[in-house]
Structures are given as structure tokens and as C-alpha cells.
Amino acid sequence: MIEIQDLTKYYGPTLAIWRLNFEIADGEIVGFLGPNAAGKTTTLKILAGYMPPTSGTATINGYDCLTQPLEVRRSLGYLPENVPLYRDLEVSQFLSFAAQAKGVDSRKQKIEIDRVLADCGLENVRHTLISSLSKGYRQRLGLAQALLNRPPLLILDEPTIGLDPTQIVEIRQLIKELAGEHTVFLSSHILPEVSQLCQRVIIINRGQIVASDTPANLTRELGESSRLAMVIKGSEDKIVATLKALSGIKGVTARGNGYYLLEVEKGQELRPTLARQVVQAGWELLELKAQEFTLEDVFLNLVTEESEAEDKAA
Amino acid sequence: MSGCLAVWRKELVVYFSTPIFYLTGTFFLLLGGYFFFSNVAYYNLLSFQASQNPYLASQLNALQMVFRPLFGTLAVVFLFMVPLVTMRLFAEEKRAGTAELLFTYPLTDWGVILGKFLAALLIYGVLLAITLIYALLMAWITTLDWGQIFTGYLGLFLLGAAFLALGIFSSTLTENQIIAAVISFGLLLLFWVIGWYEELGPSGWQGFFKYISLMSHFETFSRGIIDTRDLLYYFIFIYFFLFLTKRQLESRRWRG
């Protein structure tokens, strides 16, 4: 569905993205993850044919985003960042403009508009002026216009930003329901969202792809070591020294208030040894538990590894 | 050309649901009515004097005394009004970010430009058509040469279309509506007055300045003459500025 080759974009002298390469197959839901200013929106704008790349190519359905923009746009539903909408129009007026612009057959227009209104839960604001809609409704209206004419590909730039928790759950549910019919490429900087919604995650940082895999694989790869959290009452220096000396412990971090984070080699059950050690030393063991790596850790790990490596290089 | 109709309808809905159209329309009709009234009042005064002066009576002509000056003043009112009608068209799309929607829908640039141009032209045409009431009122009390009246209206229509084309181009240059209005007003005024001092221009260029002036081509229409050179001038002017608009929109693609 999407093929990106060596995609590079400079804004004047500033580099936004550098030689991105990836593919998205039909029917996939892919999350595009990265900190702010990593180049997510730039990539999506190029895909939507709104902006030209400096070099490299992006194709959607075999059509080049730069040279065949009309064909690309016909197969695309795009929700831009910050959801720009025509504030002076009513919801239904806006949707009928969008439907016409997208070439929905005039006899099917009403049915199509009713369908997206129902799908996005907008029936009760049909005749409301867009300027008086709440943020949540605007976000849903943005999604509704993207869904018109059932495009095979949906590109959603931060679809849940600025929504309250209930609305976020609703929008996520909606995106999940869309999955069967559309290929979805969505950007986000909210990690749990991506791990819930997407079959695959592409992580981008400073304009370059740092990882691309399923959420499960990404967390497993990082899980070469596992982590233990402990809460111990006692002298901090001594505790750190003693724990570090134990075999199988890769690192100990004191987080204050008696809270310690231990990195342990994978596959070793160290909890009984640790408990015994602490008690023998005369400290009080308040808590001891294993911690799972989340996508957030993967993300932080990748992003910080990158910048550390760059700092060293510099 | 695809999407022209969709954009046209959207622009009309926006025009009719925002105050700018009603405000400019109100003031345009108010001013038009005032000028019409004062021209008729002056004509009326001269008619009384003509009852003692047979020579003057032979010179009196409702078209020459009322409508020719009226067309001239309406043209000036449009000069002020058109920038207000067109300033929104592209500047607001850019400011509100809706340009990103508009240019990711499967629409061609020409479709978008013509949709907006034709919507503004319809608004303008409606306001112009309302002033036909003046002619109907005059026809009630005197006999009018309708051919000459319609020629004048054709001239006003083409002149307004040329104004609108220039205004739309100005609107693509900025995302600030006020700046767009200032640019189009400045350019329109320049094209209006550029023929005034033709004899002072550099030799060989006088004819050129006269020729590119918007006003000199309008005068023949208000005298009741349709000259193909004037028609051609307005068509070229409109095409030229719509073409510049298209180039300006395209520049987004290579400038990034």
C-alpha cells in the first residue's frame, strides 16, 4: 500500500527526515511513533501529497505522491495534525463539501454522509456550526471526513491528541473497527495507544527510523535483561555495593526513599537470593517484584541510546 | 477541473453565512443608491433650466447625465469593495490550516481556483444585478436605450471580474486577510490610475501605459460601445491573474 524509499526532507537548512525506507502492506495498522519534532508529521504530509520531499520517493497504491497526486488523493483519507476545519460551515455542510470534493456519487452522498456521521457518533451535531463544536467532536469530524468515500488508506496524524480519556477510548475503538476495511497509518507519541492499536510500530527519532517491528517483538528484544524493583530500609551506599557484588546483577540504581531498580540477566531467578542477602545484612525488605518492559522503555531506550551515541561521536 | 463545483458551492455557503458579504453588499447598495439619487436630482435640476433654454434641452440625455457617471462611480466603489470580497479566499485557508484538507482532496488547482473565482463572481453579479433597479426606475419616467445600458453593465461585469482575478491572486500571497486586501487594493489602484499621465511616461511607453490601464478600457463600455479590443483586454487580464494564482499555488510543491 505504502512504499517509501530514501525519503529525505529539508526545511531550508534544517533536516526533518533523513533517508526513510519502509513499506506498509494492505490491511496493516501501523503506528508511527516518535517524540515531538521527530519528523512524523513531515512524513505524513509528504505521503498525503501536500508537500514535496527533497529527495527520495513515496508511493501509495503504486502511484507516486509527487507526480500523480490526484490518483494518490483518491485512495486516501487524511486527518491532518490539529484537525483544520471550515469553522463557518455546519457539520453537514462541511461533510457534503468533502463528499463532493472526494467525488462521492451525488446520489449516494446522503447515505455516505449518514454513514460517517453514525460511525463517528456525530448525528446529534449534524446542524451545529463547526466553530461551536468541542475539541472531541472536531476530532471526530476530522475522522469522519477522512472516512468519506471509503478510502483504502487512512493516514491519521495524532488522532487522539487533546481528547479526554473516554473520548480517547471511543476513537481507539473506532479505529480498531476500521481496521478490517482500511489500511491505517497513524502517528502518535502516546505509547500505550500504539501498542494497543497497531500490529506494527515504526519508531522514528531525529528524522531517522530507529526500529520497526511488532510491539511484542520490540519489548522482547529489549528484554535481554529483566528488571526487579526493591524497597529496602537501610544505608543506601552499603545496599548498592552489596547488591552490585552479587552474580547475575547487571546494574543497580537507587531512586531514593529506599527504592532500588535492579537489572538482572535474563533467565535467572535471583529473588530468593536477594531476599536472603537483604535479611542477612540486617536490613528490612519491604518490597520485591519483577518488572515487565513496556513499549515506553523500548522507546526511551532507543531514543536515548541514539543521542548518547551521537554525543560520543561528537 | 475536477472539484470546481464542490469548491464553488462551499464558497457560496461561506459567503452567505458570514457577515462580510452582507456588510459589503449593504454599503455598496447604499452608496450606489446615493450616487444614483444625486445624478437623477442633478438631471432633474437641469431639466427645469432646459425649459427656458432650447439648446440645453436638445443636449439632455438620461443615459449621458445619469448612467455614464453612475457607471464610473460604481466602478470606483467596486475598487474598494472587491478586495474585501476576495481577501478571504486563499489567505484564510492557509491561516486556518484548511489548505491542507483542500489540497489533499482529489481536486485540481484549476478546479479550486475557478470554483473560488466563480463563487466571488456570482456574489459580484448578484450585487450588480440589484442595481438594475435604477435603470428600471428611470425607464418608468423616461425612455432608455437598453442596449447602451446593458453595454455599460457588461463593462462593469468584466471590470469586476478583472478586479476579482487580481484579488484572488493577492490572497494567495499571504495568510493574513488584511495584507491580502491591502495588496489587492494597491495593485487595483495602480492599474486604475496608470493611464492618467500617459503623456509624461517614457517615449514609446505612453501607449502601453494607457493600454494596460483598467480604466481606459472601461470607458468605451460606459459610452455604450463594445470594442473587441476591450473584451480581449479583460479576458487576458483575468486569465493572466488566475494563471499567476495557479503558479503561486504550484510553488508550494517545489518550494517546500
Residues A149-204 have pLDDT tens digits of 889 999 999 888 777 888 888 888 888 888 778 899 999 877 777 877 888 889 88
**Which is more confident, B222 or A125?**
A125
Residue with cell 501607449: B207
Predicted local distance difference test score (pLDDT) of residue A253: 82
Q: What is the pLDDT at residue A217?
A: 78
Percent above pLDDT 90 for chain A: 21
- In this predicted model, what pLDDT tens digit does every residue of B22-33 receive, in sequence order? 999 999 999 999
Give me the pLDDT at residue B130, please: 93
Residue of B nearest to A88 (CA): B14
B6 touches chain A (CB under 8 A): yes
Tens of pLDDT, residue by residue over B116-154, are 999 999 999 999 999 999 989 888 888 888 888 999 999
Q: B12 in contact with A at a CB cutoff of 8 Å? A: no
pLDDT band with cut points at 50, 70 and 90 for residue A311: low
Among the ranges given (A119-128, A258-267, B233-242), the one the predictor scored with the smallest mean pLDDT = A258-267
**Does residue A12 register a pLDDT over 60?**
yes
Question: Quick one: pLDDT band at residue B239, thresholds 50, 70, 90?
Answer: very high
3-state secondary structure chain B: CCCHHHHHHHHHHHHHHCHHHHHHHHHHHHHHHHHHHHHHHHHHHHHHHHCCCHHHHHHCCHHHHHHHHHHHHHHHHHHHHHHHHHCHHHHHHHHHCCHHHHCCCCCCHHHHHHHHHHHHHHHHHHHHHHCHHHHHHHHHHCCCCHHHHHHHHHHHHHHHHHHHHHHHHHHHCCCCHHHHHHHHHHHHHHHHHCCCCHHHCCCCCHHHHHHHCHHHHHHHHHCCCCCHHHHHHHHHHHHHHHHHHHHHHHHHHHHC
| Span A49-64, average pLDDT | 89
Query: Tell me, what's the pLDDT at B119?
Result: 96
Spell out the residues 6+ positions from residue B24 whose beta carbon is closer than 8 angstroms to its own. Answer: B81, B84, B85
Is the C-alpha dihedral spanning B25, B26, B31, B37 positive or negative?
A: positive
**Shortest alpha-carbon distance between residue B4 and chain A (Å):** 8
Determine the 3-state secondary structure of A120 from DSSP. coil
Amino acid at A206: R
Q: Give yes or no for B253 touching A (CB within 8 A).
A: yes
Interchain CB distance below 8 Å, B96 and A9: no
Of B2, B6, B99, the CB nearest to A97: B6
Q: Provide, as residue numbers in chain A, all residues whose Cβ is less than 8 Å from the Cβ of B92.
A: none
B254 contact A CB<8A:
yes
CA distance A304 to chain B (A): 30
* Residue B251 contacts A where some CB pair is shorter than 8 Å: no
Q: Which B-chain residues 73-132 have CB contacts (< 8 A) with chain A?
A: 96-108
Chain B residue with minimum CA distance to A72: B106
Question: Which position has the higher pLDDT, A294 or B77?
Answer: B77
Residue ranges of domains in chain A, CATH in brackets: 2-220 (3.40.50.300), 224-292 (3.30.70.100)
Contact criterion met (CB < 8 Å) for B98 and A85: yes
Give alpha helix (H) positions in chain A.
40-47, 69-74, 91-101, 109-119, 135-147, 165-178, 191-197, 215-222, 236-245, 271-280, 295-313
The pLDDT tens digits for A132-162 are: 998 888 988 999 999 998 899 999 998 887 7
Determine, for residues A84 and B106 on separate chains, whether the beta-carbon distance falls below 8 Å. Answer: no
pLDDT, averaged across chain A: 84
Q: Could you tell me whether strands A63-64 and A55-60 are parallel, antiparallel, or unpaired per DSSP bridges?
A: antiparallel
Looking at the predicted structure, is the pLDDT value of residue A223 above 80? no
- Beta-carbon separation of A73 and B254 below 8 A: no
pLDDT in tens, B33-58: 999 999 999 988 888 888 888 777 77
d(CA A254, CA A240): 7
A88-112: average pLDDT = 92
Question: What percentage of chain A exceeds 70 in pLDDT?
Answer: 91
C-alpha distances (whole Å) from B231 to each of A254, B157, B214 are 85, 11, 12
Distance between CA atoms of A160 and A141, rounded to whole angstroms?
A: 12
- Averaged over B192-202, what is the pLDDT? 74
pLDDT at B96: 92
C-alpha to C-alpha distance for B36 and B94, rounded to whole angstroms: 40
Find which of A44, A60, A88, A104 to mutate to test the B interface (most B CBs within 10 Å of its CB): A88
pLDDT category at B174 given cuts 50, 70, 90 is: very high
Indicate the residue of A45, A66, A84 with minimum beta-carbon distance to B101: A84
Judged by CB atoms closer than 8 Å, whether chains meet at B104 and A48 is answered as yes
**pLDDT of amino acid B9:** 93
d(CA B61, CA B47): 10
Of A70, A85, A93, which is closest to B106 when you measure between CB atoms? Answer: A70
Q: Name the pTM for this structure.
A: 0.84
pLDDT at A306: 56
Model confidence at B14: pLDDT above 90: yes
In this prediction, residues B146-174 reach a mean pLDDT of: 94
Smallest CA-to-CA distance from A284 within A230, A227, A228 is with A230
